[in-house]
Amino acid sequence: MSDTVQQRDRTDPASVEMRERAKTEGIATIWDRYAALGSQCRVGELGICCTICHLGPCNLGLPGSKRPQIGVCGANIDTVAARRLARDMAAGSAAHSDHGRSVAQLLLMTARGQAPGYSIKGEGKLRALAVELGVALVGRSAAEIAEEVAQVCLAQFGQQDGELAFVHRAPAKQQEIWRKLGVVPRGVDREIVDVMHRTNMGVDTDYQSLIMGGIRSALADGWGGSMVATDLQDVLFGTPTPVRAQVNLGVLRADQVNVLVHGHEPMLAEAIVDAAADPALLERAKELGASGINVAGICCTANEVLMRRGVPIAGNFLQQELAMITGAVDAFLVDVQCIMPGLVEAASCFHSEIIATSEKARIPGTRHMPFHEDRAAASAREIVGRAVENFARRDRSRVVIPDHKMDVVAGFTTESITYMLGGTFRGGWRPLNDAIISGRIRGVVGVVGCDSPKHIQDQCHLDLVTELLRHDVLVVQTGCSAIACGKVGLLQPEAAFKYAGKGLQEICETVGIPPALHAGSCVDNSRILTACIEMVKEGGIGRDFSELPVAAAAPGWWSEKAITIGFYAVASGILTVLGSSLNILGSDAVTRFVTGEIEGVTGGRFAFESDPVKGARLIVAHLNKKREALKLRPMMYEVVPVGA
Ligand code: NFS
């Protein structure tokens, strides 16, 4: 029997409760600020405002309007829209890739004994990577291998020529396409700089060339920086395996010190989880009347420590202020990315302290306590110590924790799926490919990305995912989308019986997996790429990603990083459905190119669809087309009608 969350549950009750509280307490949240702005800048939305140089800002008009369609320098609408888009891609690539660089630096320090709190927990992954990167294994210790692997990975950032190492993971056909297009990334930093240069006033003005330049930087993220981040995090902290945990604001504890970790880089959060078990700190917490120290996460830092440590998730991007409004957060640790400056106002109404831990991110109104990897344990103890002391200042009469949380099973990586599909000795993707070939599973779709106040909270993810499941589509999730689906139980094996079509149900039951698989944080979208590689390698369902019955969707996206991810997916041959359009609609040429013509070039394209059910159906039609082209069998079971 199929059901959709849309019918049952319009919004997350935990968030509704805290939004009501915010209103009562007079605390502005993201929804209030969004409403206060009223209509947003239409010119910006259309991508026809050029702020690249100070001859402007040139606020252009659409064809037929009275305003000129050419800027002071002579740039036309297509150039202006494409330049903006390319810079978005470079910015997203910079954020993900700089994260990857920090992990590589930490691995190097760990290998050299300069980061005493860390060790190499994923030796198997280290060895596999060493083989792939041509690093010698024989007669060497794990530390020696790790040192060279870290150096090779760090060199990927500064490399000036040649090809990024992980590009060679892609199917041969895709690599050839990239070579012909001249978009194989040479070095991560180089491609980002290249975009910043070519988008200067008076350099590249050809919209297709600008977009291809942007794509090169996006590929440097997906097949470079993000892959480095994911793989080296697995080396340092272990490759995740499926783990049960809980999600939503109800994971906060009224009786314990609550430490929230928010942002993206797990290096600090891993140390915080260890520090929270420190006997002296636990003793001190008890002295102050707390029964323990509870660590929980927000956003992608949360996804990281959920997968590896089973740390509960308090919420996704839209819930960061709501977590603060419980009045139960003693320390809110933030590292980098997706941290709303508005958090400071919410914190000021309670005893909660925001601790900014990254040298890169100074946030007025917060305590700046930079985290030092070379003395991680001491640094983390110091930070958790502050949280414990702050517990004494908590006004218990003002604590309201919504009683809502949900069980999830998280931590599905390419490695753990390989194992689950076949066991240690004959692990492999044959069962998945066979399920696709036989028509039990229609295809595999990555549903990823942010949650936005422009949509009903979480709903775009839930509607899109449940519609896909009903059509026997296996869903793989990361980022805030995964958290949204986790909150309603879609990340549990039992969800298959409630939401999935019969064919998908059979597979989930046989393998023991949820119908929507939590694969990690946003940099872990690289895991979706490696999963697609395995599907191609196993054979029978396509020679490259563009032939596979796969697609991607980001129904609630808003971040530059999401644009970069979208473009590396499209450039890798994958149809990518966005829940709102890119800010390019002012340029017909750019819009036509990224939503249509590019398919003839890379094999992938964008589609914009604000109705998530329609978006899912568009994906289903795409999967059907791919299945037909591959001459796969018809689907085994009829799709159960909604509400049947
Ligand atoms: Ni991705 Fe993760 Fe969330 Fe969006 Fe922000 S946390 S990196 S950008 S909002 S999914």
Q: Give the distance (Å) from ligand 1 centre to CA of residue 131.
A: 32
Say yes or no: CB of residue 317 within 6 Å of ligand 1.
yes
Q: Is the pLDDT of residue 573 over 90?
A: yes
For ligand 1, atom 5: residue with the closest CA? 338
Q: Identify the residue whose tokens are 């018809």.
A: 634
Q: Give the distance (Å) from ligand 1 centre to CA of residue 523.
A: 9
Say yes or no: CB of residue 561 within 6 Å of ligand 1.
yes
pLDDT score, position 419: 84
Say yes or no: CB of residue 564 within 6 Å of ligand 1.
no
Q: Do 444 and 420 sit in the same domain of this protein?
A: yes
Q: Do 50 and 140 sit in the same domain of this protein?
A: no
Q: Do 29 and 81 sit in the same domain of this protein?
A: no
Q: Do 534 and 584 sit in the same domain of this protein?
A: yes
For ligand 1, atom 4: residue with the closest CA? 450
Atom of ligand 1 nearest to the CA of 300: 2
Q: Do 564 and 621 sit in the same domain of this protein?
A: yes
pLDDT score, position 424: 53
Q: What is the mean pLDDT of residues 621-640?
A: 96
pLDDT score, position 8: 43
Q: Give the distance (Å) from ligand 1 centre to CA of residue 300.
A: 6
Let me know if residue 120 belongs to a domain: yes
Give the residue, out of 97, 300, 320, 340, with the most ligand 1 atoms within 8 A of its beta carbon, to mutate for a pocket test: 300
Q: Do 203 and 289 sit in the same domain of this protein?
A: no
Q: Point out the least confidently predicted range of 106-115, 229-238, 633-642.
A: 633-642
> Please, which residues have CB within 8 angstroms of residue 328's CB and are 6 or more apart in sequence?
252, 253, 254, 258, 394, 399, 401
Long-range contacts of 419-424 (CB under 8 A, 24+ apart): 419/241, 420/242, 420/511, 420/512, 420/513, 421/511
pLDDT score, position 418: 86
Say yes or no: CB of residue 461 within 6 Å of ligand 1.
no
Q: Give the distance (Å) from ligand 1 centre to CA of residue 423.
A: 33
Domain limits for position 35? 3-55
Say yes or no: CB of residue 486 within 6 Å of ligand 1.
no
Q: Give the distance (Å) from ligand 1 centre to CA of residue 439.
A: 33
Residue 498: give its domain's CATH number.
Answer: 3.40.50.2030
582 dihedral zone (left: phi>0; alpha: psi -120 to 50; beta): beta
Confidence label for 426 from pLDDT (cuts 50, 70 and 90):
low
Q: Give the distance (Å) from ligand 1 centre to CA of residue 130.
A: 30
Say yes or no: CB of residue 479 within 6 Å of ligand 1.
yes
- C-alpha–C-alpha distance, residues 394 and 329, integer Å: 9
Q: With beta carbons less than 8 A apart as the criterion, state whether 224 and 164 touch.
A: yes
Let me know if residue 642 belongs to a domain: no
For ligand 1, atom 6: residue with the closest CA? 299
Q: What is the mean pLDDT of residues 410-438?
A: 85
Q: Is the pLDDT of residue 498 over 80?
A: yes
Atom of ligand 1 nearest to the CA of 481: 10
Q: Point out the least confidently predicted range of 215-219, 404-408, 425-429, 459-463.
A: 425-429
Q: Give the distance (Å) from ligand 1 centre to CA of residue 92.
A: 11
Let me know if residue 315 belongs to a domain: yes
- In this prediction, what percent of the chain has a pLDDT beyond 90? 93
Q: Give the distance (Å) from ligand 1 centre to CA of residue 583.
A: 19
Let me know if residue 542 belongs to a domain: yes
Let me know if residue 229 belongs to a domain: yes
Q: Do 14 and 135 sit in the same domain of this protein?
A: no
- By three-state DSSP, how is residue 519 classified? coil
User: pLDDT tens-digit profile of 511-556?
Assistant: 999 999 999 999 999 999 999 999 999 999 999 999 999 999 999 9
Say yes or no: CB of residue 559 within 6 Å of ligand 1.
yes
Q: Decide which of 371, 398, 425 is a domain's last residue.
A: 398
pLDDT score, position 361: 96
Q: Is the pLDDT of residue 452 over 80?
A: yes
- Computed over every residue of the chain, the mean pLDDT equals 95
Q: Is the pLDDT of residue 257 over 60?
A: yes
pLDDT score, position 428: 80
Q: Do 137 and 26 sit in the same domain of this protein?
A: no
- Greater confidence (42 vs 133) lies with 133
User: pLDDT tens-digit profile of 67-111?
Assistant: 999 999 999 999 999 999 999 999 999 999 999 999 999 999 999
Q: Do 431 and 287 sit in the same domain of this protein?
A: no
Q: Is the pLDDT of residue 461 over 90?
A: yes
Q: Decide which of 340, 363, 398 is a domain's last residue.
A: 398
Q: Do 41 and 100 sit in the same domain of this protein?
A: no
pLDDT score, position 372: 87
- Greater confidence (9 vs 561) lies with 561
Confidence label for 63 from pLDDT (cuts 50, 70 and 90):
confident
Q: Do 572 and 603 sit in the same domain of this protein?
A: yes
For ligand 1, atom 9: residue with the closest CA? 450
Residue 142: give its domain's CATH number.
Answer: 1.20.1270.30
- C-alpha–C-alpha distance, residues 345 and 367, integer Å: 14
Say yes or no: CB of residue 302 within 6 Å of ligand 1.
no
Q: Decide which of 237, 263, 297 is a domain's last residue.
A: 237
Q: Do 589 and 502 sit in the same domain of this protein?
A: yes
Let me know if residue 68 belongs to a domain: no
Omega prior to 63 cis, within 30 of 0:
no
Atom of ligand 1 nearest to the CA of 479: 10
Q: Is the pLDDT of residue 1 over 60?
A: no
User: pLDDT tens-digit profile of 2-44?
Assistant: 344 444 445 799 999 999 999 999 999 999 999 999 989 999 9
Say yes or no: CB of residue 414 within 6 Å of ligand 1.
no
Let me know if residue 636 belongs to a domain: no
- In this prediction, what percent of the chain has a pLDDT beyond 70? 97
pLDDT score, position 64: 87
- C-alpha–C-alpha distance, residues 185 and 175, integer Å: 11
pLDDT score, position 2: 39
Q: Is the pLDDT of residue 422 over 90?
A: no
Let me know if residue 69 belongs to a domain: no
Q: Count structural domains, the chain.
A: 4
Say yes or no: CB of residue 450 within 6 Å of ligand 1.
yes
Q: Give the distance (Å) from ligand 1 centre to CA of residue 261.
A: 14
- 49-50 and 58-59 beta bridge pairing: antiparallel
For ligand 1, atom 2: residue with the closest CA? 300
- DSSP label of 593: I
pLDDT score, position 534: 94
Say yes or no: CB of residue 338 within 6 Å of ligand 1.
yes
Say yes or no: CB of residue 480 within 6 Å of ligand 1.
yes
Q: Is the pLDDT of residue 404 over 70?
A: yes
